[in-house]
Structure 1
Amino acid sequence: MTAPTHIRPALVIDETARLLNEHYVFPETAEQLAGLLQRRLDEGAYAVDSAEELGRLVTEDLQSVNGDRHLRLKYHAEPVPAEKGAATLAAMRRDYDTSLGGAPRVELLEGGVAVVELAPALFPLEWAAEPLSAALTLAAGARSLIVDLRGNGGGDPDTVAFVCSYLLDQRTHLNTMHWRDGERREQSWSLPHVPGARFGGDKPLYVLTGARTFSGAEELTYDLQQLGRAVVVGEPTGGGAHPREGWTVHPHLEATIPVGRPVNPVSGTNWEGTGVQPDVLCPAADALDRARALAVARLAG
C-alpha cells in the first residue's frame, strides 16, 4: 500500500511538538526543538504534500540541535498502527521472522574460534530468548568467541543483559537508566542463571563493530568493553545511546522520542554522539579476519 499524498503539516508539527515537551529526556532541549519546529512551519519549510518528505525535513531539524539520532519523524510506507510503539514492533517482527530470531550465523572456525552473528537487531527478550540461548550455548565450548554486531541496529535492553549473562561468570551491574524526571532510575544487571551453557568470563572474547552498529548493540559492545571483558574490533559505532518510544502522528509518520539516558557504572557516561571506539581500529569489512588473527595468536600464546 502506498502512502496518501495529502498531508496537513501543521497538525503533525503541533502533535510532534506536544510530544517533545511531554516526553523528551532533556526538557530544556525539548522546548528549544518545539520552538524550532514552529518557526520552520511558519516560514513555510514544511509546505509539502508528501509524508515521506515531511518526515525527512522534520527529522533533519530535530537532529540539528544536539545530534540525537534516535529523535526522528519516521516515515513508514505501510500504515502505522495507532498504539504507542506498535509500528516499531511490527517492523521488528518482520525482521525477526526472517533472521532466525536474530542469530543468523553460528560457526566454528579453525583453531576453536567460534563466531556468533547477532543481526539485524536484539529483539524483545520474550521473542529472542530461545534462539539466542541456542546460539550462545552452541558456542559455549569454543576456545574463543567472536560476536559480530556489524549489522545490528539495536533493540531491547533486557536482551542486552541476557546476552551479557552468557559472557560473564557472575551477576554484574551493566547500566543505569536515568529517566526524564531526573529522580527515577533503573539498573540493568546480568542474570545469575541462564538457560543452556555459558561461554563464561575468562576465555578470549571479541566484538565486531561498524558504522551500522547502533543503540542497543552499542550498549552490548560498550558494557563488555567497559568491564574489560571484550576486545572491540572494527569501526566506531553510530553514537545513539538514548532509548526511545514511538507515537503515531499521521497514518504514515511515527515520532520517535528518547525518554531516558543511560549511565555506565564504570565510565560514568555513555556513547551518545561519540559512538563506541574500537580497541582495534580497522575497516568493518576486515574486522572478522582481524579478530580471528588476534584470537589465534592469543590462544597460541
Structure 2
Amino acid sequence: MRIEHVAELMTTHYVFPDVADDVVRVLKATTYPEDDVAFADAVTRDLQSVNGDKHLRLIHHEDALPEGHGDDETDLATMAAWADRTGGGVAGLHRLDGGVAHLDLRPVLFPSVVCGDAIAAAMTLVANADALVLDLRQCLGGEPSMVTFIASYLFGAEPVELSGLFERTTDRVTQAWTLPYVPGRRFGPDKPVAVLISGTTFSGGEQLAYDLQQTGRATVVGQRSRGGAHPRRGFRVDDHLELTVPVARSVSPITGGNWEGTGVVPTIETAPDDTLTTALRVLRER
C-alpha cells in the first residue's frame, strides 16, 4: 500500500511527468523490505535511479509526523521552530581585518516570512564593510523567496532578474526580481563580494551562489556544489515516512538552465582548507 501511495504522489506532482512514469514503473516492479528504514533507503535509491534527482527522497522520521504535515501552515510552524533553534539561519557574523565582513548562513535559508528580520539585521550590520564574504559552505538549502531577499541587499534599488521557477501546475516560468525596497541598509551593488561554496552546499544555497555568479555580482570560491535545482514539497506517506517531490525547476534568465546534476562550478576552485584564505586574498586585491 505504501508504494502505491508513493507512486501516486510521483505521478501527480513530479515536475517531469515522463520521468515520473519511468520511476513509477521501477517502483511497481520492485519488492521492498518491510522495515521502515530499509524501505525508505531502498525506495530512495529507486526514486533517484532514472535521472539522479537528489531532491527525490523517501525520508524516515523517528518521531511521528503530524497529520497536517505538508500543509503550508504546518510547514511554516515547523520551519519557525527550527529557525528559533538556529539563529534564524545566521550562524555567524564577523568583522575581519581590512574592512571585510564574513557572514555565515546555515543550516538553511529559511522562508523570508519566518526569518526576514534576522537577515535584515545581519545585512544591516555588514552594510558599511568594504567587502563581504558570504559563506554558504554548510548551507543545505533554502526557500526561493529568501534567496531573492538576500540578493536584494547586494544590488541597488533597480530590480535585477534572478532565476525563476518553471512549475508543472502552471506550465510557465514565474520570474524573480530583486526588491526595490528592503528593510535596514543595503550592502549595495558596487563593493566586492565573495561567495563560499563546498560539496555540502545544496538547493537554495546553490541558487544564491549561482545567481550572484551569473549576474556578475560575486566571485564564487570553493568546491563544486551538490547539484540540486528543483524546489520540492514534502508529502506525508504514513506516520513515519515523508516523500519529498520536486514540483518545479529553476530557470536562469541568463543561461536558460540551472545547476541540476552539475552543481555550481566555482569561479575559483580551491582545496577545502584554502577556501576562506583565497576569498580574502581576492577581496583585498580588489
- TM-score category of the 2 structures, normalised to the smaller one: over 0.9
Greater CA radius of gyration, 1 or 2?
1
Q: C-alpha distance in 2, partners of 1:142/1:98?
A: 28
Q: C-alpha distance in 2, partners of 1:162/1:199?
A: 13
- Tell me by how many angstroms 1:75 deviates: 1.2
- Tell me by how many angstroms 1:185 deviates: 2.6
- Tell me by how many angstroms 1:283 deviates: 2.4
1:56 aligns with 2:19: no
Contact in 1 for aligned 2:222/2:272 (Cα 8 Å): yes
Q: C-alpha distance in 1, partners of 2:274/2:170?
A: 42
Of 110, 120, 123, the residue aligned with 1:133 is 120
Of 57, 69, 90, the residue aligned with 1:103 is 90
C-alpha spacing 1:252/1:88, structure 2 compared with 1 (3 Å): farther
Match of 1:195 in 2: 183
Q: C-alpha distance in 1, partners of 2:79/2:272?
A: 24
- For structure 1, the residue ranges without an aligned partner over 5 or more in a row are 1-10
- Tell me by how many angstroms 1:290 deviates: 1.2
User: What pairs up with 1:1-301 in 2 under 5 angstroms?
Assistant: 11-41=1-31, 46-48=32-34, 50-85=35-70, 89=76, 92-169=79-156, 170-181=158-169, 183-298=171-286
C-alpha spacing 1:57/1:89, structure 2 compared with 1 (3 Å): farther
Q: C-alpha distance in 2, partners of 1:88/1:287?
A: 34
Of all paired residues, the percent bearing the same amino acid is 45
Q: C-alpha distance in 1, partners of 2:166/2:151?
A: 21
Q: Relative to structure 2, which stretch is displaced further, 179-188 or 206-215?
A: 179-188
TM-score (norm 2): 0.95
Q: C-alpha distance in 2, partners of 1:167/1:110?
A: 21
- SS in structure 2 of the partner of residue 287 of structure 1: helix
Q: C-alpha distance in 2, partners of 1:60/1:90?
A: 30
Contact in 1 for aligned 2:222/2:275 (Cα 8 Å): yes
Contact in 2 for aligned 1:95/1:120 (Cα 8 Å): no
Q: C-alpha distance in 2, partners of 1:268/1:103?
A: 31
Contact in 2 for aligned 1:154/1:214 (Cα 8 Å): yes
- Tell me by how many angstroms 1:211 deviates: 1.0
Q: Relative to structure 2, which stretch is displaced further, 279-288 or 110-119?
A: 279-288
Match of 1:8 in 2: none
Deviations 1:141-182 (A, max 9, x none): 000000000010111100000000000112111022111146
Q: C-alpha distance in 1, partners of 2:272/2:115?
A: 26
Q: C-alpha distance in 2, partners of 1:88/1:126?
A: 12
Q: C-alpha distance in 2, partners of 1:284/1:135?
A: 25
Q: C-alpha distance in 2, partners of 1:88/1:74?
A: 16
- SS in structure 1 of the partner of residue 220 of structure 2: strand
Deviations 1:215-234 (A, max 9, x none): 01100000000000000000
Structure 1 residue identity aligned to 2:255? S
Equivalent pairs, count: 283
